[in-house]
């Protein structure tokens, strides 16, 4: 079998995970997260300025939100997967090793949103305008950041022989799956879902003139809907309740909350188009 045919039958995992610069190692996972933040930042900044906002104000608020979001994302992961860091044979210090992967988007969005709300309140900025301007940028950042899981060979789905099956090294295969070589690339599924979400949000905003925080609520609902089925495919060891992964419950609860918020935010007020839609 030639190399071209082999490539068509599976997706290889990278054998490169970072670069060393002197004593400092820059991990591919961190570079993907950073690239996502920059791309999302650029899109959201352009949208906020188009709505009459100040670029300096936006960058100050977003900087606070990003830092808080990273902290919240790591906390959510460590709390919900505490068995990976605490207990017999575990090293609690590894809870700080963010470069090894492990960021829970739920904690990231929650902490980031609260930090942004506080910063907007201090600066006299309408938080709903900030949130709506940033929603497509947030899901774009998530899409690009998902590539980090590819480099780390983590968070993949069950075994598959589909042509897009992801090759996983034996050392990274979970217990009970050692005999399988290719798995569902759930990082790619979520990345594609999120990229489609950017287009969907921009379309929905124009088509239905969404404002007053409804676009952000729609982003949350859209992401949760996709995460629910993608999460169900994953086989990485996590805590479960009644046979379902904890993140599946989180997806359903947050999805329902976002839908309720979407309805309530639009009740009693007509949607008004933003002055410009970049």
**pLDDT digits 0-9 by tens, 141-189:** 999 999 999 999 999 999 999 999 999 999 999 999 999 999 999 999 9
Give the per-residue pLDDT at 274. 42
Question: In the chain, where does DSSP find H-type helix?
Answer: 3-9, 28-50, 55-80, 105-123, 127-145, 147-152, 186-208, 214-233, 246-266
HEC string for 122-154 = HHCCCHHHHHHHHHHHHHHHHHHHCHHHHHHCC
Helix (H, G, I), strand (E, B) or coil at 70: helix
Digit-coded pLDDT (tens) for 196-233: 999 999 999 999 999 999 999 999 999 999 999 999 99
Q: Is the pTM of this model over 0.85?
A: yes
What percent of the chain has pLDDT above 90?
Answer: 84
- How confident is the model over 58-74, as pLDDT tens digits? 999 999 999 999 999 99
Mean pLDDT, rounded, of the chain: 92
Closest CA to 208 of 278, 270, 133: 270
Token pair recorded at residue 261: 């918020």
pLDDT at residue 2, rounded to an integer: 41
Domain residues of the chain, as ranges? 25-212
pLDDT of residue 8: 55
């Amino acid at each position: 079998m030639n190399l071209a045919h082999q490539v068509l039958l599976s997706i290889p995992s990278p054998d490169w995970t970072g670069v060393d610069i002197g004593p400092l190692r820059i991990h591919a996972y961190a570079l993907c997260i950073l690239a996502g933040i920059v791309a999302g930042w650029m899109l959201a900044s352009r949208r906020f300025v188009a709505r009459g906002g100040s670029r300096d104000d936006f960058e100050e608020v977003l900087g606070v939100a990003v830092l808080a979001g990273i902290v919240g994302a790591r906390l959510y992961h460590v709390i919900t997967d505490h068995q990976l860091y605490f207990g017999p044979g575990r090293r609690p210090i590894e809870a700080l090793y963010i470069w090894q992967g492990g960021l829970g988007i739920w904690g990231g969005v929650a902490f980031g949103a609260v930090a942004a709300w506080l910063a907007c309140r201090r600066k006299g900025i309408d938080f709903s305008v900030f949130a709506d301007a940033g929603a497509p940028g947030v899901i774009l950042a998530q899409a690009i950041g998902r590539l980090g899981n590819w480099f780390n060979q983590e968070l993949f789905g069950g075994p598959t022989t589909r042509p897009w099956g992801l090759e996983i090294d034996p050392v990274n295969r979970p217990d009970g799956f050692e005999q399988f070589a290719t798995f569902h690339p759930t990082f790619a599924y979520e990345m594609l879902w999120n990229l489609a979400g950017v287009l969907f949000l921009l379309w929905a905003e124009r088509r239905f003139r969404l404002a007053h925080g409804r676009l952000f609520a729609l982003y949350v609902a859209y992401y949760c809907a996709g995460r629910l089925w993608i999460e169900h495919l994953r086989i990485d060891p996590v805590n479960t309740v009644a046979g379902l992964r904890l993140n599946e419950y989180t997806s359903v609860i947050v999805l329902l909350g976002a839908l309720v918020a979407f309805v309530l935010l639009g009740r009693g007020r007509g949607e008004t188009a933003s002055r410009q839609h970049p």
